Amino acid sequence: MSEFRWRVVPPCVLTLVAMLAGVAAIVQALEGNLQNAATLIFASMLLDGVDGAVARLLRGTSKFGMELDSFSDAIALGAAPGVLVFQLTRELNAAMQTTWLPKAGAVLCAMIICAGVIRLARFRLTNDPHKDKGAYQGLAIGGPAGWVALFTFCHAAEVTLPGTAIPYGISEGPLAILFWVVLPVLPFLEISSIPYPKPTKNLYKFGLFALCLVAMLTVEVHPVRDVAALLLLTYGLWYVLGAPVLHRYQQRRPRLAS
């Protein structure tokens, strides 16, 4: 029994650190430090992918750890990006001086948080029909969190598309339009029945994602940061739009062959 308890500790500690990073992201967002908030959300995402891998490696998976992970995700990947979006709209409204923008920000904040909590509750309480097929029912809670964190970080760090002056803005430019058009769709994809492949189960893909993310966050040389941001944006769009189609096709191939 003592050995089993020891094996549970490391992944649970990582989960708690991910949750605290989410709390720190909320504090940073409320203080107006948007780049720091985005970085902390990304840290939570990485830890959320690592804690499960560590638990499986140490054979330390447990029901307690699974429940703890859900609570951590609700704060770090649900509440934190929701608050960050609310702060983004407040920053926009400081320049635009509208009456509707703060209300829209509050609605988007509520959508992101509620959809994330609903998805987590459904995942814990229902039998996911795609669980044994390498997929989840609905977009993972990290999808909206990553989308918000990516554009917020790139906006604050003045990242542009490689070889161009097109910024990852939130107030102007084609990428700003892309950000605000896709954002309200993501909560609906979370609570949908669309199957999404498990991104953290493929170590190669997760490792490549982590490498690009670390490069974007730590390397201040613009060509490197710009390329890493573009790769993350491309992966995000492909995962949200293309991955479910590819997964359905791969599931149909054995049936068609038989």
pLDDT in tens, 211-226: 999 999 998 888 899 9
Q: Residue 124's pLDDT is what?
A: 80
Judged against a pLDDT cut of 70, whether residue 246 lies above it is answered with: no
Closest CA to 186 of 126, 141, 133, 149: 141
Decide if pLDDT at 11 tops 60.
yes
pLDDT above 70 covers what percent of the chain?
88
pLDDT at 79 over 90: yes
Q: For residues 86 and 84, what is the distance between their CA atoms, to the nearest angstrom?
A: 5
**What pLDDT is recorded for position 188?**
95
pLDDT recorded at residue 123: 83
Of the listed ranges 16-20, 138-142, 247-251, the least confidently predicted one is 247-251
pLDDT greater than 60 at residue 72: yes
Q: Is the pLDDT of residue 74 over 80?
A: yes
* Contact between 167 and 153 (Cβ < 8 Å): no
| Tokens linked to 29 | 């967002």
pLDDT for the residue 253: 58
Query: Residue 168: is its pLDDT beyond 70?
Result: yes
What is the distance between the alpha carbons of residues 105 and 172, in angstroms, rounded to a whole number?
17
Q: pLDDT tens-digit profile of 19-47?
A: 999 999 999 999 999 999 999 999 999 99
**Residue 110 three-state SS:** helix
Instruction: Indicate whether this model's pTM tops 0.95.
Output: no
Taking CA atoms, 89 is separated from 24, 29, 154, 254, in Å, by 20, 12, 16, 47
3-state SS class at 128 = coil
19-33 burial, b at 16+ Cβ within 10 Å, e below that, comes to: bbbbebbbebbeeeb
- Tell me the percentage of the chain whose pLDDT exceeds 90: 56
Q: In this model, does residue 247 exceed pLDDT 70?
A: no
